[in-house]
Amino acid sequence: MDERSLSVVAVRSVGPDSVAIDIETPDEFDAQPGQFVKLTLTVDGEDESRFYTISSPDVADEFEITVGIDPDGDVAPHLADLEAGDEVRVSGPFGSDYYEGESRAVLLAGGPGIGPAIGIAERALQEGNEAALVYRDDDPIHEERLDALEADGVFVTVLDEDADLTDAVAEATDGGGQVFVYGFADFLDDAMAALEAAGVDSDEAKVENFG
Ligand SMILES: Cc1cc2nc3c(=O)[nH]c(=O)nc-3n(C[C@H](O)[C@H](O)[C@H](O)COP(=O)(O)OP(=O)(O)OC[C@H]3O[C@@H](n4cnc5c(N)ncnc54)[C@H](O)[C@@H]3O)c2cc1C
């Protein structure tokens, strides 16, 4: 989809320094959880673009993105200030590392990477499939949805920022499945090392690097 102005449906706090933003789904926007969109805002008279990954299980009437906010960031704090009815400029979807109906999804998420991880886990359960989720963050977000996934039988492990991923990744991958990794580069490095330690080929993982 070329860039279009779309209406914000809702902005919700989902934990410390984090918001989920629901955006109206335009015609002919067929996207899967794990794909990302480009948002463009005008900040101090300049157009600024950033990428955000779809964190809803589907895009039926609206789709959700989950934004981690560094108060010193140029763009994310402005996204937190959006309100229902505001317009945002969106293009996409982009990316090829998304959920494609795999029978078991193993989701490794760092920081705001939990957005697509939850969206994919929810989608997998909706389709009668299985999921396991390892999430590393000092201030976990989306806790209600994580609790609901756990209650539905998903293996969920939440770790502190300093925690070693090795044991949790070994347990999550023990049942096989397609691995998905979402987060910033430092998390990706640790996740890849943990996969290799667990005997899983990290080249087979679907990976999205947030920067
Ligand atoms: C493909 C892709 C998908 C993305 N999906 C998401 C998403 O779903 N949700 C989301 O919140 N962001 C996502 N991002 C990151 C997002 O595009 C922005 O970079 C982020 O919101 C910071 O923008 P900013 O203008 O506020 O900060 P900037 O002014 O660009 O400053 C950089 C900021 O980025 C953050 N940052 C950079 N590197 C790291 C790091 N290693 N660890 C932690 N934080 C770091 C910090 O907050 C830092 O202050 C994605 C990026 C890419 C490339």
Q: pLDDT tens for residues 121-132?
A: 999 999 999 999
Please indicate, yes or no, whether residues 112 and 187 belong to a single structural domain of this protein. Answer: yes
> Same structural domain for residues 34 and 15?
yes
Same domain, 116 and 21: no
| φ and ψ at residue 176, rounded to 5 degrees | 75, -165
Q: Which protein residue has the closest C-alpha to ligand 1 atom 49?
A: 73
Give the closest residue (by CA) to ligand 1 atom 18.
50
pLDDT, one tens digit per residue, over 95-142 is 999 999 999 999 999 999 999 999 999 999 999 999 999 999 999 999
For the chain, the average pLDDT equals 97
Q: Ligand 1 centroid vs 199 CA: distance in angstroms? A: 30
Residue 29 near residue 59 (C-beta atoms within 8 A): yes
3-state percent helix, strand, coil for the chain, nearest multiple of 5: 25, 40, 35
> Which amino acid, 29?
F
Confidence of residue 81 (pLDDT cuts 50, 70, 90): very high
Domain boundary residue, one of 33, 67, 94: 94
Q: How far is the CA of 151 from the centre of ligand 1 (A)?
A: 31
Query: What is the rounded distance in angstroms from the CA atom of residue 80 to the CA atom of residue 9?
Result: 13
Distance 6 CA to ligand 1 centre (A): 22
Q: Which atom of ligand 1 is nearest to the CA of 208?
A: 1
CA of 208 to the centre of ligand 1 (A): 12
Q: Name which residue sits closest to atom 6 of ligand 1, judged by CA.
A: 52
| Domain membership of residue 71 as a residue range | 4-94
Please count the structural domains in the chain. Answer: 2
Measuring CA to CA, which residue among 1, 9, 4, 70 is closest to residue 40? 4
- Is residue 99, in this structure, part of any structural domain at all? no
- Co-location of 79 and 40 in the same domain: yes
Q: What is the C-alpha to C-alpha distance for residues 33 and 59, in angstroms, rounded to an integer? A: 8
What is the Å distance from ligand 1's center to 175 Cα?
32
pLDDT of residue 60: 95
- 173 pLDDT exceeds 90? yes
Is 183 contained in some domain? yes
**Mean pLDDT, residues 173-191 taken together:** 97
Angle, vertex CA 191, rays to CA 188 and CA 193, nearest 5: 110
Q: Point out the ligand 1 atom lying closest to the alpha carbon of residue 75.
A: 25
Indicate if 77 and 159 belong to the same structural domain.
Answer: no
* Of the residues 94, 116, 145, the one at which a domain ends: 94
